Amino acid sequence: MTTVDLHTLTGAYALHALSDDERGAFERHAADCEACTDEVRELSETAARLGLAVSARPRPELKGRVLRHITTVRQDAPRTAPPGRSARRSAARATSLSRWALAACLAGAAALGGTTAWQHERAQDAREQARQTERRTDAVASVLAAPDAKTRTAALADGARGTVVVSRSRDAAVFIASGMARPPGGKVYQLWFDDGGTMRSAGLMDPGRSTEAVLMSGSVDGASGMGITVEPAGGSAEPTSRPVALMGLPA
């Protein structure tokens, strides 16, 4: 690979688009070429700014299309020039002309930066979900470990069992289900507090789990019992089906 060839690799090097051999050859060249070192730094900073500037989420097919084009579209070969000072000037002109193509590559890098931002958002969402799960787990453990916690267990349909644990000091209750059958498609088990015959929603169970501990939503104060009904996904404001279970709360 000639010196002229190496002068034209600044853009590809800034975008990490060189093979291992090409990258090694360019890095050895750039160690003694201040012009190439400066240009790589400028192009790398530009690519980073373009990536950070993108806030719109790209279409899912964009990344695949850019990667396919990278494998089929090649940069024009540089013009040959006599060695010496004139070769450097010729390489500089070739680099300048190739910047239009490089701009398109940087635009593609910016779009991929949008994909990176989307992945970052997904990671943040996952961390937030993990924090919410941890908070629910801590709340369930707090009720179960409360000094005044009292329990009541009952047999449910199809061999399932249900246990309700109440802590009056924490004004909270946990329902523990074991071996419950999955609800019909598009349906969910909904928990209710029984306030003297008036049913008050206490949250939903996970339709994909047969064994689960659920922190019941709302205050225990005033409730004498609890019930479970099968409701449309998302739950209902009031029961729309006959209860599959009714239990009194422990005194």
Q: Are residues 109 and 179 in the same domain?
A: no
**Count of structural domains, the chain:** 2
Spatial separation of the C-alpha atoms in residues 213 and 206, rounded to whole Å: 10
The SS3 assignment for 213 reads strand
Name the pTM for this structure. Answer: 0.51
Residues 116 and 170 placed together within one structural domain of the fold: no
Phi and psi for 78 in degrees, rounded to 5?
A: -70, 155
Boundaries of domain holding 242? 150-248
In this prediction, residue 131 carries a pLDDT of 74
Of the listed ranges 68-82, 124-138, 204-218, the one predicted with least confidence: 68-82
**Are 65 and 115 in a shared domain?**
yes
pLDDT at position 77 over 70: no
One-letter amino acid at 69 equals H
Report the distance separating Cα 125 and Cα 207, nearest Å.
22
User: Phi and psi for 126 in degrees, rounded to 5?
Assistant: -65, -40
Asked if 98 and 154 sit in the same domain, the reply is no
Q: Is the pLDDT of residue 132 over 80?
A: no
157 with 106, same domain: the answer is no
Q: What is the pLDDT of residue 14?
A: 73
Does position 67 have pLDDT exceeding 60, yes or no?
yes
The conformation of residue 194, written as its DSSP 8-state character, comes to E
